[in-house]
Chain A
Amino acid sequence: MQTEIIFAGFGGQGVLFAGQVVAYAAMDNGLEVTWIPSYGPEMRGGTANCTVIVSDEEIGSPQVRYPAAVVAMNLPSLDKYESLVKEGGHLIVNSSMVDRPVTRKEIHSVMVPGNEIAEGLGDKKMTNMVLLGALLANVPLLPLEAVEKSLREHLPEKHHRLLPLNYQALREGARFLAEKV
């Protein structure tokens, strides 16, 4: 069983970190995982994305054309990846940063006002965690608690004061569930 997720957004939105959190949690739970960033001139500002593949067996390609899930943090990411989500897959959209609905009907889409929620929690940098919470609530990948545990174990000690806020953001995001297709 293999699940492919693409996290995409602007540089600075924490998409690479969100992907790493999943990678750590998958590893901690005995699964195979790959995390691969897009790297190139575009990593100097502009768009950023990473692909995370979680599996219970040796992972082949670390990249796929048609991912099981996409977390789109902004409009360019939505435009780029909407058509590529596997049929029956999930598209988690940061609705704060897009001005249109998801048009495909045969995939599960979840619109999450990530920026507003994060700002409501007092830290806009938590947007990625809100979206990650929504992803975990909708895609049968890992329990939210497992991700929280991995965050605690792998986040450097000096950032631990931010843990409660991260948990809160994850749980706020997890309240958003896709409607049945």
Chain B
Amino acid sequence: MSRRAPLSENKKAERKLGWLLCAPAALVMVLVTAYPIIYSVWLSLQRFDLRFPDQREFIGLENYVTVLTNEFWWTAFGVTMLITVVTVAVELVLGMGLALVMHRTLVGRGIVRTAALIPYGIVTVVAAFSWRYAWTPGTGYLANLFDGSAPLTERASSLAIIMLAEIWKTTPFMALLLMAGLALVPEDLLKAASTDGATAWQRFTKVMLPVMKPAILVALLFRTLDAFRVFDNIFVLTNGGNETSSVSMLAYNNLIRGLNLGIGSTMSVLIFITVAIIAFVFVKLFGTAAPGSDDGERR
């Protein structure tokens, strides 16, 4: 307030610098996502099979009809939804537990946190191979527990193992996001509740959960969208066999194995729309809980 006069010059310089500094990051992000997704819409309106490039032509929404009336698509969609809902629900519970352990343990806090970061950091494909061999009859320590049957050759058990692998890998990430929320819970409040005779469960539901709500919503949103993209684990564990393909697997198969760019792009667009709807519902339901949404108000 005291330096109003010389500020306009400074202000201009500040704006310019701000734009200059943000331009490269913004440019890369927009170029590598916005342009391809628009291009993808264009491709999805064409018959475009790389094995028969001569037959390339504009066919309107025919690809969408093909995909949306295809039972493989809906099976994959169902599998993806199932995996998303189950893993996110389980991870919310386990992640909350892990967050509490990492935050409140009296001994070995460093060790627990270090151990928890290993699933987060490890390459998904590596972890997937570990689970695959664990469940391979003969080789695996887990398969032998179950009378040497081959769980990865049956649909239900394959899906269970895919979900187990997903949960193992991403629970720590969920826990870390939740721990950020736990750190916001005032210690005094917990002590006060405790002296007032609140049980551990009451302290958790009445004191911690309300404070943590924004963190929980952020964690749920990010994990849901992330879970919907499930690909690596399925690729390694079952390669989509026995109807365990996710929508990502299906899009990959149409593109790389089928070389059908038109259908592949149609699936890309459909997945994009689905994710957009999920994100929209979350944001609508939970308002301004998303990170960064408060940024403008701070100053």
Partners in one complex: no
